[in-house]
Chains A and B, each alone.
Chain A
Amino acid sequence: MTLGYLLTVGTFTGIFMILTLSLNILTGYAKQVSLGHAAFFGIGAYAAAILATKFGLSFWAALPCVVAVTTVVGIFLGLPSLRVSHDFLVLSTIGLNFIVGSVFKYFSFFGGSMGIVDIPTPTFFGKAFGTVGYFGLTFAFVTLAVLTSIYFSRTWGRLAMEAFGEDETAAKAMGINVAKFKIYAFAISSAYAGIAGALWAHYVGSVFPENFGFDRSIDILAMLVLGGLGTIRGAVFGALLLQVLPEALRFIQDYRMLVSGAVLALMMVFQPMGLLGKGSFLYLRSLGILRHFRRGVASGAP
């Protein structure tokens, strides 16, 4: 196992952390269950790829445009949520994967099934990012995503989203414009997904429609649910676990899907709030140990 390999795994893990934090706004707070999140990710990646190869924009110049494009398309794709909810919304978000995937595949502007290749590596003051540099770049964005998520979790917007996510009728009686906040949730979530997409496109150097399919959407949702829906720690931890674990368990490669399926089923039965979610066993235990440790330190002092 070389350092380069570890950094590559780390970079992909970072990209998925941004994606789970993104989905946490939409599904964790606003409870709009999305099984189409890879579509938003893909729109970000394709926007970055096109701006870099067809318009010759640098990673940095293109980034604001990528975020803007993903946000606008995200708002548009979020409009069905104003008419359908719960199971029906889940079904329509599954549809998003196939619609967006088909657009990438059948329009030559998006490279068709040949995808878009030769996306340049970003540079910083004229110097191209190496493996180490890109890992650093990714985690700078992960840090940014975590900090902005923490900020958002302390705002009126998060409270409003959690409120209507649980009960739209009661939320309206609290003065919440539910339609507006649903659109906010899709917009914010898409903006994060756009950044993740740009990082992916410039790291891998190519984008293909299959990179952003339904199975990837399931991966992202599974990470968030496993870590703990509605919590930032859960989003980060879930992405880490489901990206690193399969790498560590390569020897059971053939049974990978079996094992992750079993893990998810057991989680649903025993810890539906996720490993580090609100009131989960692991989280309460670690709080307890922390408190015990603090008390120990306090009583040990002369």
Chain B
Amino acid sequence: MELLETEGLTKDFGGLRAVDHVDLVVRRGEIHGVIGPNGAGKTTLFNLITGYLRPTYGAIHFKERRIDGLPTHRIVTLGIARTFQIVRPFTELSVLENVLVAWGHRYYRKTGPFRPYANARRRAREILESVGLADRADIPAGTLPIGLQRRLEIARAMALEPELMLLDEPAAGLTEEEIGGLKELVGRIVATGVTVVLVEHRMSFVMDICEVITVLDHGRVIAEGAPEEVAHDPAVIEAYLGTGSVNAAG
């Protein structure tokens, strides 16, 4: 069995089927892109995998263990970290403390909460150095500009030391230059053995760094494969540009 597998994953919100029988397979060590038009169900898929939502039908297996129905904090400690599309730093805590909160995931059980965290500061600072935030370690996270808040999101995910990292639109709102830095950072994370799944709208970014791409439309998988295959798939072009555009383009 692969690192992450979903079987017939389905989520209904009232009469709306946001995710419709999705079989997603993520292999160890790959960078897997999930793309699709607005409302295709990408973020819902992430929320299902990380336990924020319970599937209506279907199962999710991570490391051969069934994880659907587990609470989010358990899934995180099993080795899945995520970032949020709209960044959610703890604005009143310092940048360093934000990373410490994530590093603490291994101490939130048994007597861990009643032990001091001072010894972890050095490790948290190293993580901030690796994402280029070390010089802002002691300012409140809410005062960081958006580009750096996205870096902090990734720094927190790194501090969780996951096997699988889910990045929800990490490039949204970034400048071209910042995207260059992000590519390099994701490359370094993958080099440490972490598997990455990312939801993204910026096509150039996805095409550049992903090895496999899954395309969702109206909650269904409409295409899957290497970037160049997917880019030329008529169903994908139709989903993005509407019916008739295939002929017009052809």
| Bound: A173/B106 CA distance, A | 13
A157-B114, A159-B97, A160-B108 in contact; A175/B160 too (CB < 8 A)? yes
- Set of chain B residues within 8 Å of A170, measured between Cβ atoms: 84, 88-90
Whether the pair A155, B114 counts as a contact (CB closer than 8 A) is yes
B4 within 8 A of A: no
B77 within 8 A of A: yes
A172-B72, A174-B102, A175-B76 in contact; A163/B114 too (CB < 8 A)? no
| Bound: A166/B146 CA distance, A | 19
Whether the pair A159, B91 counts as a contact (CB closer than 8 A) is no
| Bound: A163/B113 CA distance, A | 13
Q: How far is the CB of A72 from chain B (nearest CB, A)?
A: 19
A218 within 8 A of B: no
Chain B contact residue count (CB 8 A cutoff):
34
Whether the pair B108, A156 counts as a contact (CB closer than 8 A) is yes
- Set of chain B residues within 8 Å of A159, measured between Cβ atoms: 93, 97, 100-101, 104, 117
Q: How far is the CB of A17 from chain B (nearest CB, A)?
A: 22
- Set of chain B residues within 8 Å of A171, measured between Cβ atoms: 90, 101
B82 within 8 A of A: yes
Q: How far is the CB of B86 from chain A (nearest CB, A)?
A: 10
Least CB separation from A153: chain B residue: B116
A134 within 8 A of B: no
B52 within 8 A of A: yes
Whether the pair B108, A176 counts as a contact (CB closer than 8 A) is yes
Least CB separation from B88: chain A residue: A170
- Set of chain B residues within 8 Å of A163, measured between Cβ atoms: 90, 93, 101
Least CB separation from A169: chain B residue: B88
- Set of chain A residues within 8 Å of B101, measured between Cβ atoms: 159-160, 162-163, 171, 174, 176
Give the tally of cross-chain contacts (CB within 8 A): 93
B232 within 8 A of A: no
- Set of chain B residues within 8 Å of A172, measured between Cβ atoms: 52, 71-73, 76
- Set of chain A residues within 8 Å of B97, measured between Cβ atoms: 159, 162
Within 8 A of B (CB), among A132-184: 151-152, 154-157, 159-160, 162-163, 166-167, 169-178, 181, 184
| Bound: A277/B118 CA distance, A | 22
Within 8 A of A (CB), among B119-165: 156, 160
Whether the pair B160, A174 counts as a contact (CB closer than 8 A) is yes
Whether the pair B116, A162 counts as a contact (CB closer than 8 A) is no
Whether the pair B91, A155 counts as a contact (CB closer than 8 A) is no
- Set of chain B residues within 8 Å of A174, measured between Cβ atoms: 76, 101-102, 104-105, 156, 160
B205 within 8 A of A: no
- Set of chain A residues within 8 Å of B104, measured between Cβ atoms: 156, 159-160, 174-175
| Bound: A178/B81 CA distance, A | 17
| Bound: A171/B90 CA distance, A | 9
A interface footprint on B56-100 (CB within 8 Å = 1, 0 otherwise)? 000000000000000111001100011010001111110001001
| Bound: A155/B104 CA distance, A | 10
| Bound: A157/B108 CA distance, A | 7
Whether the pair B81, A156 counts as a contact (CB closer than 8 A) is no
- Set of chain B residues within 8 Å of A178, measured between Cβ atoms: 73
- Set of chain A residues within 8 Å of B82, measured between Cβ atoms: 173
A156-B117, A159-B100, A170-B88 in contact; A177/B71 too (CB < 8 A)? yes
Q: How far is the CB of B155 from chain A (nearest CB, A)?
A: 12
- Set of chain A residues within 8 Å of B81, measured between Cβ atoms: 173
| Bound: A176/B107 CA distance, A | 9
Q: Indicate which residue in A152, A155, A167, A177 contacts B73 across the interface (CB closer than 8 Å).
A: A177
Q: How far is the CB of B235 from chain A (nearest CB, A)?
A: 33
Q: A155-B117, A172-B71 are in contact. List 8 more A-B contacts (CB 8 A).
A: A154-B116, A159-B93, A159-B117, A163-B93, A171-B101, A173-B72, A174-B101, A177-B73
A-B contact pairs, 9 of them (CB 8 A): A159-B97, A160-B113, A162-B101, A170-B88, A171-B90, A171-B101, A174-B104, A177-B73, A181-B108
List the 7 closest A-B pairs by CB distance, nearest first. A175-B105, A157-B113, A170-B88, A172-B72, A175-B76, A156-B107, A154-B116
> Chain A interface (Cβ within 8 Å of chain B)?
151-152, 154-157, 159-160, 162-163, 166-167, 169-178, 181, 184, 278
